[in-house]
Structure 1
Amino acid sequence: MARFHRLPVAAVDRLTDDAVALTLSVPEELREEYRHTPGQHLALRRLADGAEIRRTYSICSPAPDAGGEGPRTLRVGVRLVEGGAFSTYALKEIAVGDEIEVMTPAGRFTLAPAPGLYAAIVGGSGITPVLSIVATLLAREPRARFCLIRSDRTAASTMFLEEVADLKDRYPERLQLVTVLSREEQQAGLPSGRLDQDRLTTLLPSLLPVTDVAGWFLCGPYGLVQGAERTLRGLGVGRARIHEEIFHVDGAARTVHPTAPAHATVTARLDGRGGSWPVRDGESVLETVLRNRPDAPYACKGGVCGTCRAFLVGGEVRMDRNFALEPEETEAGYVLACQSHPLTEAVEVDFDR
């Protein structure tokens, strides 16, 4: 069960004019709770003007060895979002020694180190989980190779530029790095411009044997990820080899569903305890549960992070949108509680499965 703990800030490193990396110290007694798989994320929480604010940030530091102790530190990258309540706080106020409420790791945009060829297409801050994936994979598995294709606006706006360069220097034969800048010409490498579907269709086969890649990891804005997925499917890559995490979903379609049936109830099992509650008009399953169980897990409420994943035990729901669950998860009966609205008078979900 995901839980929050207060962790002290050990370092605040400026990455770009609009991004920082926060390093959090993990006390010895909490290290097992914060053990993570490369690619997972953390939800950070604060109170501002009496309201709770939660935001999800991917862990960019390598994952600890399976047989050793849990992590002594965790590092996340935060990029300023215009009007962002948490990102503004992170860039302008957080200082070394402050304590932040941090949820234990979650997320399934992950890769357990194994031999083979892997690749990623990332845009902007989408580099953060992939940085952990690449660093962990190449350090633990000498028979693994990775092709990292990253897109940024300019060199000055590129997060973790030095960290990626260090990985390239450390693993020159096993890490292929391709950088595309959309608003700035490079002295060497690819011409500037967006990594749209047409460009990727031409570029990818020239870089690597596309269908031989054991796992493709797509991370960044909605448009980039969707275009990259369509490109890969068009090039013959099976859906099971494509893994996605979307950071920005502005402009993504949201399904509009009818009002819940009159007198609908939600029954939920959470941390070993159950309860049933009436659904208010327009509420999602998560909103109904949160009114009665404030400890229900969630982070983004946008269908992106997957923290509120629950198993649908009974009844029917429709999700507004889903950018977190893989097709095999939805087929197995899992839903995102924050996006799910009852279609039957009785709905039952289990957060513990």
Structure 2
Amino acid sequence: MARFHALPVAAIDRLTDDSVALTLTVPSALREEFRYAPGQHLALRRTVDGTEVRRTYSICSPAPEPDTEGPSTLRVGVRLVDGGAFSTYALKEITVGDELEVMTPAGRFTLEPAPGMYAAVVGGSGITPVLSIVATLLAREPQARFCLIRSDRTSASTMFLEEVADIKDRFPDRFQLATVLSREEQQAGLPSGRLDQERLSGLLPALLSVDKVAGWFLCGPLGLVQSAERALRGLGVPRTRIHEEIFHVDDGTPAGPSVPAPAHSTVTARLDGRGGIWPVQDGESLLETVLRNRPDAPYACKGGVCGTCRAFLVSGKVRMDRNFALEPEETDAGYVLACQSHPVTEAVELDFDR
């Protein structure tokens, strides 16, 4: 069960003009609880004018070895978002020694180290979880290789330049890097411009044997991730080899198909071993219904992106407004995002513990 704990800020590293890396200290008693898989994220929360604000940030450091103590520190990357309630606070107000409310690690955009060839297409701050994935994979598995294709606006806006260069120095024969800048010409390397579907369809086969890649990891803005997925599918890559995490979704993204809601409906929810049944108020999501009665219900973004509110649909039917977090196999198995789900039947039952 995900829980929040107060962790002190041990270091703040300026990465670019608009991004920082926060290092948090994990007390010995909490290290096992904060053990994470490479690619997972943390939800951070604060209260602004009486309103709770939660945001998710991916862990960028290598994951601890399975047979060792959990992590003594956690490092996350934060990029400033215009008007962002938490990112503005992180870049302009947080100081070393401050305590932050941090949820235990979550997320399924992960890779268990194994032999083989892997690749990623990332944009902007989408490098953050992939940095943890690459560093963990190459350090633990000598028979693994990784190709990273990253897109940024300019070299000055590129996060974790030194960290990626260090991986290249440590694993020169097993790590391949291709960088594309959309607003700046490079003296060497790939021409500038956006990585759209057409360009990726030609670029990816030129860089590596696409059909031999065991897993593709796509992370960044919605447009880039969708373009990369379409390019890969057009190149014959099975959907099961493609893993996605969206970092930015425009508010104009269309919702799912409209389905008439029942006049009166209830949700039964099981959470941390305890259950309850509550009426769903007009227009609210199932997560909002549960939160009115169980404030400990897990969530972070409420935008259908992070997957923290994932729950198993035991019975009944729901309509999801949108879904950028669950894989097709998960929805086929019966999982839904509670923050995006609205009842279609008079009774719905969710299990957050599965």
TM-score w.r.t. length of structure 2: 0.99
Q: Which residue in the other structure is 1:232 paired with? A: 232
What do residues 136-160 of structure 1 show as CA deviations (whole Å, max 9, x unaligned)? 0000000000000000000000000
- 4+ residue runs over 6 A deviation: none
Contact 1:44 1:103 in 2 (8 A): yes
What does the per-residue CA deviation read over 1:4-33, in whole Å, with 9 as the maximum and x for residues that have no partner? Answer: 000000000000000000000000000000
Deviations 1:107-160 (A, max 9, x none): 000000000000000000000000000000000000000000000000000000
Q: Which residue in the other structure is 1:343 paired with?
A: 344
Q: Which residue does the alignment assign to 1:168?
A: 168
Q: Percent identity?
A: 83
Q: Given residue 285 of structure 1, which amino acid in structure 2 is its aligned partner?
A: L
SS in 2 for 1:348: strand
1:259: Cα distance to partner?
5.2
Aligned equivalent of 1:2: 2
Residue 315 of structure 1 corresponds to: 316
CA contact (8 A) 1:259 1:282 kept: no
User: What's 1:25 paired with?
Assistant: 25
Task: Describe the superposition over 1:31-65 as per-residue Cα deviations: whole angstroms up to 9, x where unpaired.
Answer: 00000000000000001111000000000000000
Amino acid at match of 1:345: E
Partner of 2:270: 269
Question: Aligned AA for 2:229?
Answer: E
Deviates more, 1:248-257 or 1:285-294: 248-257
Q: Which residue of 1 aligns with 2:97?
A: 97
Q: CA deviation at 1:254?
A: 1.6
Asked if 1 retains the 8 angstrom alpha-carbon contact of 2:259 and 2:319, the reply is no
| Root mean square deviation, CA, Å | 0.7
Q: Is the 8 A contact 2:9 2:25 kept in 1?
A: yes
Deviation sequence 1:49-85 (CA, Å, 0-9, x none) = 1100000000000000001000000000000000000
Distance (Å, rounded) in 2 between the aligned partners of 1:167 and 1:259: 52
Q: How far is the alpha carbon of 1:262 from its aligned partner? A: 1.4
**Matched position secondary structure for 1:6:** strand
2:40/2:105 contact within 8 Å kept: yes
Give, in whole Å, the separation in 1 of the partners of 2:300 and 2:167. Answer: 31
Equivalent residue letter for 1:41: H
Is residue 65 from structure 1 mapped to residue 60 from structure 2 by the alignment? no
Q: Write the distance in 2 (CA, Å) between the matches of 1:318 and 1:263.
A: 15
Aligned to 2:192: 192
C-alpha separation in 1, matches of 2:228 and 2:152 = 15
Give, in whole Å, the separation in 1 of the partners of 2:333 and 2:291.
24
> Aligned partners of 1:175, 1:102: CA distance in 2, in Å?
32
The alpha-carbon deviation at position 275 of structure 1 amounts to 0.4
Corresponding residue for residue 180 of structure 2: 180
Q: Which residue of 2 aligns with 1:49?
A: 49
State how many pairs are aligned. 353
The alpha carbon displacement at 1:257 in A equals 2.8
- The residue that corresponds to 2:15 in the other structure is 15
What is the distance in 1 between the residues matched to 2:198 and 2:328?
Answer: 26
**CA–CA separation in structure 1 for the residues paired with 2:185 and 2:193:** 9
Shift of 1:186: 0.4
Q: Which residue of 2 aligns with 1:118?
A: 118
- 2:293 aligns with 292
Q: 2:339 aligns to what SS in structure 1?
A: coil
In 1, Cα distance between equivalents of 2:178 and 2:332: 35
Give secondary structure in 1 for the equivalent of 2:52: strand
Corresponding position of 2:133: 133
Letter in 2 for 1:124: G
Aligned residue for 1:11, secondary structure, equals strand
Secondary structure, counterpart of 2:157 in structure 1: coil
The one-letter amino acid of 1:153's match is R
Query: Distance between the aligned counterparts of 1:157 and 1:146, measured in 2?
Result: 23
Q: Hey, what's the Cα distance between the residues in 1 that align with 2:159 and 2:346?
A: 48
Counterpart of 2:217, as a letter, is: F
How many Å separate the matches in 2 of 1:318 and 1:211?
A: 36
SS in 2 for 1:214: strand
The separation in 2 between residues aligned to 1:57 and 1:200, in whole angstroms, is 27
Deviations, residues 326-348 of structure 1 (Å, cap 9, x unaligned): 11110110000000000000000
Q: Map Cα deviations across residues 154-191 of structure 1 (whole Å, 9 max, x no partner).
A: 00000001100010011000000000000000010001
2:210 corresponds to? 210
The two structures have a TM-score, normalised by structure 1, of: 0.99
Secondary structure in structure 1 of the residue aligned to 2:10: strand
Q: Is the 8 A contact 2:116 2:213 kept in 1?
A: yes
- Once structures 1 and 2 are overlaid, which stretch shifts more, 247-256 or 302-311? 247-256
CA positional deviation for 1:256: 5.1
